[in-house]
Chains A and B, each alone.
Chain A
């Protein structure tokens, strides 16, 4: 589904990712872990197409297409979704209007007709219950005045509504209490199917108690330095990241 080869990315002239490799197949959940500043968010933002991140080398193939050649909205319409670490507040635009615009863009991209008001409401209500939000969330401006937990749940709501093929969650678990974490995990598990994939970018092992990953990667200094099964997350939890920093050479994941 996603094939990242020798990806190098910089921001403000500073190189963050250095020849990163990552393979994600349909049906898989990958956890990308690593200490602060290792490049986790850069990977997430670069895959979503943030214009501030400059790709200086490498290639990314997504569903057989050259992902790096696609503008952000094309990536989204092709089923790529980024749950933001810091969701943006948008004054004067209700969550409902925002979701409606996004849904109809996705539908149009798939050659489907726009949903009418009733169908839209029905869909939104169903998805709201998944993230334990009530209808009042729809009339509030996007993320404005939301608590940290509400913002993260709002990202999961958008993900649930848009049903992406590849979801990248950028530290969605950070700063959540246990109840909110369970709701987020529930949203992720709900999305998990054999025909889509999830990349969980996280600092902590905690969310992996609720969402079981197929692969765990450790990102350090812009490279994936270790990849293994879910047991790696527990090892990181126990030993911290320092032992990783002493690993001699980058480990290439199996192709």
Chain B
């Protein structure tokens, strides 16, 4: 407990520094929001394993490590080569952040079609978007019961607002690249997406670490999907080997809207994704997917909550994890079907492939169904590669390692195949092939 308090003290000091340097231009509502969130964070402290939502994920090391906010760390310039190449065409809209700071020289923030805007919160406030910001910011990702959302809100200095007005369609994926270059830093990436009625677009978050030493990224993404809108969201997480990656994603779906999110988790020592989807209008569709490939002592935790608060919505969850070394995976999939949410159609699948004896999996589906005319399914499975399949491939000339690799790639393919954006799918194909071993020529 003392660790947790020491942990919050440091963040409280960070908050006070932020308050001191905040200009008088900070709107009163924002200053008040931050104060309330900080109070909440200090009151709660970092969760312990006694907390049901954190039973299998120990935050003691995170809480005890003195991470520093970017202001007290000199950021070093990064060469163009160090910044990952864009998924889409080079001209596609893209914002790059180095250790939490916007890097204009690496970004291409040309204008978006149909009056869509991709801007910092500060710009939004000075460009009459303050009302929009006030209406949505911290209203979707609840911070009263999520300590990391509270911390993000308390230390909120700036963030990215993506506002796509009604009927606007953007074909090229909008990319946010968040690079961490320095050991010991703490960043609070914050994204707010507001999708106007019947708009359609794709947004990608990429997290990359250029250091193998510890750092802390606490990301919060809020997505408001307007009536009839369609938002596809991707997260590609390739953090450094010792990183702490805490992600909170929340989407609110209005009538007849569609939201998909797909997370590919490769990096970090400890990665937690807290994903929430809430249906606020009938006819909503959500597709939630994730793949994670872990090794060594990596710990990957997904907590997914889908709240069917209204009738006639459908949700699909497909999460697949590959565990090697002494990696550990936690999956908690909660589906709530509220009393009036008739004709709900919810499905959840969570599968793990265990490549070593030292791995551990805690997978927990939680269906809380309070309506009677619904269709809800869930399935969880964990297993090793089938010896018969390995022999089949060996009988065709592949050595055991190549056979295991091909079967492992096959296991995660189900998730990759769902990705509609070709460049992202292609990138993940290559990333998976690289991650799951050298190619067959080198294996002989």
Interface residues of A (CB under 8 A from B): 48-52, 71-73, 75-77, 81-82, 84, 87-88, 90-93, 97-98, 101-102, 104-106, 108-109, 114, 141, 158, 162
Q: Mark B368-395, 1 if CB is under 8 A from A, else 0.
A: 0000000000000000001111011111
- A91-B414, A92-B411 as given contacts; A98 in contact with B396, CB under 8 Å: yes
CB-based contact A71/B394 at 8 Å: yes
Contacts of A84 in B (CB 8 A): 392, 395
Q: Are B413 and A76 in contact (CB under 8 A)?
A: no
Known contacts A97-B406, A98-B406; is-contact A87 B397 (Cβ 8 Å): no
Q: Residues of A contacting B444 with CB < 8 Å?
A: 108
Q: Does B409 contact A (CB under 8 A)?
A: yes
How long is the Cα–Cα vector from A75 to B398 in the complex, in angstroms? 11
Interface residue? B304 (CB, 8 A): no
A104-B440, A108-B444 known; A51 vs B392 contact (CB < 8 Å): no
From residue B234, how far is it (CB to closest CB) to chain A in Å? Answer: 20
The answer to whether B413 touches A105 (Cβ under 8 A) is: no
Known: A87-B392, A92-B414. A73 touches B406 (CB 8 A): no
- B413 & A108 in contact (Cβ 8 Å cutoff): no
Q: List 8 A-B contacts (CB under 8 A).
A: A73-B397, A73-B398, A87-B392, A101-B406, A105-B396, A106-B397, A109-B397, A162-B397
B351 to chain A, nearest CB (A): 10
Please, what's the 1-or-0 string for B409-420, where 1 marks a CB less than 8 Å from any CB in chain A?
111111001000
Q: A90-B392, A93-B409, A93-B410 are in contact. List 4 more A-B contacts (CB 8 A).
A: A84-B392, A90-B389, A90-B410, A91-B413
Contact check, B406 vs A93: say whether CB atoms are below 8 A apart. Answer: yes
6 smallest beta-carbon distances between A and B, as pairs: A92-B410, A92-B413, A105-B397, A93-B410, A102-B396, A72-B394
User: A90 to chain B: which residues have CB within 8 Å?
Assistant: 389, 392-393, 406-407, 410
Q: Mark B258-298, 1 if CB is under 8 A from A, else 0.
A: 00000000000000000000000000000000000000000
Q: Using known A-B contacts A106-B397, A108-B441, determine if residue A72 contacts B391 with beta carbons closer than 8 Å.
A: yes
Q: By the criterion of a CB under 8 Å from any partner CB, how many residues of chain B are at the interface?
A: 27
Contact partner of B413 among A48, A73, A93, CB < 8 A?
Answer: A93
Tell me whether A49 and B410 are in contact (CB under 8 A). Answer: no
Residues of A within 8 A of B399 (CB): 71, 73
B interface list, Cβ under 8 A from A: 386-389, 391-400, 402, 406-407, 409-414, 417, 440-441, 444
Which single residue of chain A is at the shortest CB-CB distance from B396? A102
A111 to B91, CA, bound (A): 44
Across-interface contacts of A91 in B (CB, < 8 A): 410-411, 413-414
Query: Across the interface, which residues of A come within 8 angstroms of B389, CB to CB?
Result: 88, 90
Q: Is the interface of B mostly helix, strand, loop or mixed?
A: helix
Known: A51-B387, A88-B389. A105 touches B410 (CB 8 A): no
Choose from B391, B397, B402, B413 the contact partner of A77 (Cβ within 8 Å).
B397
Interchain CB contact (< 8 A) of B395 among A82, A93, A114: A82
Q: Are A73 and B394 also in contact (CB < 8 A) when A97-B406, A101-B406 are? A: yes
- Contact indicator A141/B440 (Cβ below 8 Å): no
For the complex, give the distance between the alpha carbons of A97 and B413 in Å. 12
CB distance from A93 to the nearest CB of B (A): 4
Q: How far is the CA of A31 from the CA of B250 in the complex (A)?
A: 65
A231 to chain B, nearest CB (A): 33
Which residues of B sit under 8 angstroms from A93, Cβ to Cβ?
Answer: 406-407, 409-410, 413
- Could you say which residues of chain B place their CB within 8 Å of the CB of A72? 391, 394-395
Beyond A88-B389, A90-B389, whether A158 also contacts B407 by CB under 8 A is: no
Chain B, residue nearest A89 (CB) = B389
How long is the Cα–Cα vector from A82 to B395 in the complex, in angstroms?
A: 7
Q: Which residues of B contact A76 (CB under 8 A)?
A: 394-397
Residue numbers in A under 8 Å from B398 (CB-CB):
73, 101-102, 105
- Cβ distance A94 to chain B, nearest Cβ, rounded Å: 9
Complex: chain B residue closest to A114, CB-CB: B441
A162–B391 contact, CB under 8 A? Answer: no
> Could you say which residues of chain A place their CB within 8 Å of the CB of B409?
92-93
Q: Are A101 and B412 in contact (CB under 8 A)?
A: no
**A101-B410 in contact given A73-B397, A82-B395, A88-B389 (Cβ < 8 Å):** no
Q: Which residues of B sit under 8 angstroms from A48, Cβ to Cβ? A: 395
Distance in angstroms from A79 CB to nearest chain B CB is 10
Q: Which of B388, B396, B411 contacts A162 (CB 8 A)?
A: B396
Complex alpha-carbon distance, A75 and B402, angstroms = 16
Chain A: minimal CB distance from B64 (Å):
41
**Chain B nearest CB, measured from A235 CB (Å):** 33
Q: Which residues on the B side are within 8 Å of A87 (C-beta)?
A: 392
A205 to chain B, nearest CB (A): 27
Chain B residues in 8 Å Cβ range of A98: 393, 396, 406
Q: Which residues of B contact A108 (CB under 8 A)?
A: 440-441, 444
Contact A49 B395 (CB under 8 A): yes
Q: How far is the CA of A156 from the CA of B417 in the complex (A)?
A: 28
* Chain B residues, Cβ within 8 Å of A102: 396-398
Contacts of A105 in B (CB 8 A): 396-398, 402, 440
Q: Which residue of B lies closest to A104 (CB)?
A: B440
Q: How far is the CA of A71 from the CA of B412 in the complex (A)?
A: 28
Who on chain B is nearest to A144 by CB? B410
Complex CA–CA separation, A84 to B393 (angstroms): 12
Q: Give min CB distance, A62 to chain B, whole Å.
A: 14
Kindly list chain A residues whose C-beta atoms are within 8 Å of the C-beta of B412: 92
Q: A97 to B444, alpha carbons, bound, how many Å?
A: 18
**Complex: A97 Cα to B410 Cα, angstroms:** 10
Please, how many angstroms separate the alpha-carbon atoms of A159 and B25 in the complex?
74
Closest residue of A by beta carbon distance from B391: A50
Q: Give the CA-CA distance A108 to B439 in the complex, in Å.
A: 13
Question: Nearest-CB distance from B425 to chain A (Å)?
Answer: 14
Most chain A CB within a 10 A radius of its CB, from B387, B397, B400, B414: B397
CB atoms of B413 and A88 under 8 A apart = no
Query: When chains A and B are docked, how far (Å) is the Cα of A98 from the Cα of B398?
Result: 10
Rounded to whole angstroms, the CA-CA distance of A104 and B397 in the bound complex is 9
B388 touches A88 (CB 8 A): yes
Q: Smallest Cβ distance from A149 to chain B, in angstroms?
A: 19
